Structure 1
C-alpha cells in the first residue's frame, strides 16, 4: 500500500482528493463526462484526476473496506464495499423504475455511438414500467417517481438534460453505469419477481373486497 501521494500532494490536489473520495462514497460512481442543463457535455475533471491518481485513491479507500474499480470501456470509476455494507435499499417502485431504465438502455445499445449514453424521456420510462413490461400495474405517483429519479441521479445512473422529472417530456441520459447497478443476470429475474408480487397483491385486494 502506497500513500505517499497524500504527504506530497499540494493543497489543491488534496482538496480534489478528498472531494473525489467523498463522491465515490456517497454517489458510488464517478463518470467520464457530465451533462449540464442547457449546455454541452463536459469532460469531468474528477474522472481525469482518478485516472492519474488511481492507486493513491484505491489504497486510501481500501483502508475503509472499499474496493475502487475502473470500467474504462464504459467511462466510469466505482466502489464496492468489501464487507457488503452500506448498500442502498430501494423500495418496490424504485426498483421497478430502475429496471425500466436498464431495459431502455439495453434497447438503445444497438444504435448507441461512442458516447454510450441512452437519451430518453420520462414518458418512455412510464410506458416501459407499466405498459411494455408490466412491472407495475399502474403509473406511479409523479412525486414518487421524481424522488426515485433523483436517487438515481444522485448515484450517477442518470443525468438530467432538460425539464423536471415529474414532467412527461423531461429529457435525461441513462449512463453506462446502469450496467453495473443492474447486472444482466438480475434484470429479468427481478422483473419477474416484481410482477409476481404485484399480481399477488391484486389477488389479495380482490379477495378482501369479496
Structure 2
C-alpha cells in the first residue's frame, strides 16, 4: 500500500469515508461479508467496496489485531481476531445446527448452476436435520429461530422476508459456511455423531464446541 493509512483515508471523499466506516462496522459485527445479497442474485455493494479498497481496510484492521482475508475462490471476506478471548464459541445445539447447514449446503450446491450460494425453505431445513440424524424430531421453533438469527448476524445465512419460525420462509446459505466449518472439522463432527448414535446416548454429544470457534 502506497503511503500510510491516514494519507490514503484522507484521499477519499466524504461520502466514501462514511461508507468506509459503515463497512468497518459491518465486518466487525458480521465476521463474514458475501458477494451476494440475501436474494442470491444481486451483488453486495459493501463487499465490492471493501474489495476495491482492500489494502486500506486491511491496514486499518491490522491496527486492532484483526486479519482481513479475501477468499476469492468463494467470493467471501472474513475478519478474524488473533486473540483467543475475542473468539466466539457455540453451544452444543448451535454446533449441531451449523453441521446441518454445512451438510445441506454441500448437498444443494451440486444442484445450483452458476451460483456459489443455495436457497432453501425452513420446512426443507427441518426435514434435513432429521434425515441427517442431527435431530430425532422437529426442533423447538423458538430455539431454532434464535440460533438461525445468530448465524445470520455472522453472515453465514440470510433471508429477505418472512419469519425464521415460518415453514415457508426462504433463506440463503452462503459459502462462508465453508470457512466456519471446514472439511476436516466436518468429517470429525460426522464421525462423532455416528459414534453417539451407536452408543444410543441422546443426552450428550461428542462434537467439540471448539470447531465452531471464530
Q: Tell whether the structures are fold-level matches, with TM greater than 0.5.
A: yes
SS at match of 1:42: coil
**Structure 1 residue 162, shift from structure 2 partner:** 4.6
**Structure 1 residue 51, shift from structure 2 partner:** 1.4
| Aligned counterparts of 1:96 and 1:124: Cα–Cα separation in 2 | 16
| Aligned counterparts of 2:134 and 2:200: Cα–Cα separation in 1 | 10
Unaligned runs of 5+ in 2: 205-214
In structure 2, which of residues 6, 14, 17 is the aligned counterpart of residue 14 of structure 1? 17
Q: Which residue of 2 aligns with 1:145?
A: 144
**Structure 1 residue 16, shift from structure 2 partner:** 1.1
How do 1:36-75 residues align onto structure 2 when only pairs under 5 Å count? 41-75=41-75
How do 1:74-89 residues align onto structure 2 when only pairs under 5 Å count? 74-89=74-89
Q: Deviations over 1:55-110 (max 9, x none)?
A: 01001101111100001221211111122342222221111111111101101222
Distance 1:21-1:85 versus aligned 2 partners, 3 A rule: farther
| Aligned counterparts of 1:72 and 1:140: Cα–Cα separation in 2 | 35
The number of residues matched between the two structures is 199
The answer to whether the 8 A contact 1:108-1:118 is kept is yes
| Aligned counterparts of 1:192 and 1:135: Cα–Cα separation in 2 | 12
TM-score by length of 2: 0.84
**Structure 1 residue 201, shift from structure 2 partner:** 4.5
The answer to whether the 8 A contact 1:66-1:80 is kept is yes
Q: Which has the higher contact order (CA 8 A, sep 6+)?
A: 2
Q: Deviations over 1:184-210 (max 9, x none)?
A: 11113224435629943449xxxxxxx
Q: Deviations over 1:148-189 (max 9, x none)?
A: 111111111111145321122211111111111110111132
TM-score by length of 1: 0.85
SS at match of 2:159: strand
Unaligned runs of 5+ in 1: 204-210
